[in-house]
Structures are given as structure tokens and as C-alpha cells.
Chain A
Amino acid sequence: QKEVEQDPGPLSVPEGAIVSLNCTYSNSAFQYFMWYRQYSRKGPELLMYTYSSGNKEDGRFTAQVDKSSKYISLFIRDSQPSDSATYLCAMTYQGGKLIFGQGTELSVKP
């Protein structure tokens, strides 16, 4: 079993839809959680960074961490065609390596 599981998609939604991206994990020691966005032929770009549980909002993006369920989510409101990319969750713990999910490919259709 992988430490971090992420549905690879692809996920296709119409412009303006709310998008929900999710990851589950098995290591209860994880305490730092991140979401990266990766456009084709580019490097991953940090979107959200959270420590421990709870929600964090930044514009149209909301990151949610539920440590009791070992589950993290990224919500995108009012999705735009420019949001079309692969979204990677990543997590680590003190002294640990950053472990990435496989990535979910998102397509937002105009």
C-alpha cells in the first residue's frame, strides 16, 4: 500500500464548477500538508501549505485536513480553464521526506 493515495483522474468539469480533489494517507505522523499544481512541461508550483488539521483559504482555493480520517482535500471554487493542470498532494513529518501523491489531472472546459 502506498503511503499517499490520490485518484489520478482525469477529471473534467465545466467552467464555473466547484472542484474537489482528495488524498488519503496511511502514516499518522504526517503533519505538514501541501498542494502543488503542475502545468504540462513545467515544475510543480506550490498552491497551499498547511500544518496539522483544519482549513485554509486562499482566494478560490480551500485546503482541508482531517487528521482523524487521514484525508486531505483541495477545493477550487468558480473553476477556470486556466486551472487545467495536474494537482499533486504532498505531505511530510518532522525529519521525514516529502511524499507526493500520483497527481490528479484536471480539465476545466469553457
Chain B
Amino acid sequence: DAGVIQSPRHEVTEMGQEVTLRCKPISGHDYLFWYRQTMMRGLELLIYFNNNVPIDDSGMPEDRFSAKMPNASFSTLKIQPSEPRDSAVYFCASSFGRHQPQHFGDGTRLSIL
């Protein structure tokens, strides 16, 4: 059974560019979560969806960040314009049920120069 799939695995881009991160959740899961991991702040929840609908985006740091889930098998996290402080590892996770175990992808390592 395929796990959560994220792309790209690595992204290096210059400040001011648009960055799009992609996620395919596990089939049948109804919750999708986007996290950011840094050494300083650890794992932080950015936004989560239930049945493709955004439920809580209070963790999104600024208006430069946006996330969409056009269907049950695909989600994007977009940063526009990107800044060096956005450099981090971004994880997508999915679960079947709000408080059931979340399954994580292997992340996108983002570096903004």
C-alpha cells in the first residue's frame, strides 16, 4: 500500500520566487495535514483539511502561504513570494479520522537563497 507521497523531495530557489509543494495522501484517508519542521521550532501544524475542505489554517505564518486540496488525492502548499526564513522541511500527513494516527510523507526540503 503506497504511503503519503510528496514532491519535490528537494527544492532550492531564490528569494521572491513562487514555490509549490505537492502531496498525495493515502487513498481513503479523509484528513490531510501540512507541517513545517525546523531546528528551532520543531514540527508545527500549518493547515489541515477534512474531506478536501480547509478546517484550520491558523498555523499558516503569513498571507504568502496558501494551500489547496482540489480533490481527495491531491493537495498543494504554495509560498509566494518566498523568503529565506521559509527554509525548512515541509511534511504532509494524512489520517482516517481526526484523531487517528497520522501517516507522514518523507517531506520536501526547501531552501530559499
A: which residues have CB within 8 A of B? 32, 34, 36, 41-46, 49, 88, 92, 94-95, 97-98, 100-103
Contact = CB atoms under 8 A, between A and B. Distances in A.
A79 to B, nearest CB: 23
B34 interface: no
A21 to B, nearest CB: 15
Interface in B69-113: 91, 93, 98-99, 101-107, 109
Given A43-B4, A97-B56, A49 B42 contact: no
Contacts of B103: 46
Contacts of A102: 42
B101 A101 contact: no
A34 B101 contact: yes
A45 B103 CA distance: 7
Contacts of B106: 41-43
29 contacts: A32-B99, A34-B101, A41-B106, A41-B107, A41-B109, A42-B107, A43-B93, A43-B104, A43-B105, A43-B106, A44-B91, A44-B104, A45-B104, A46-B101, A46-B102, A88-B43, A92-B99, A94-B99, A95-B98, A97-B45, A97-B56, A97-B59, A98-B33, A98-B45, A98-B102, A100-B42, A100-B43, A101-B42, A103-B42
Interface of A is mostly: loop
A45 B107 CA distance: 12
B90 to A, nearest CB: 11
Residue of A36, A42, A43, A97 with most partner-chain B CB within 10 A: A43
Contacts of A36: 104
A101 B91 CA distance: 16
Nearest to B40: A102
Given A98-B102, A103-B42, 20 more contacts: A34-B101, A36-B104, A41-B107, A43-B4, A43-B93, A43-B104, A43-B105, A44-B91, A45-B104, A46-B101, A46-B102, A46-B103, A88-B43, A92-B99, A97-B45, A97-B59, A98-B33, A98-B45, A100-B43, A101-B42
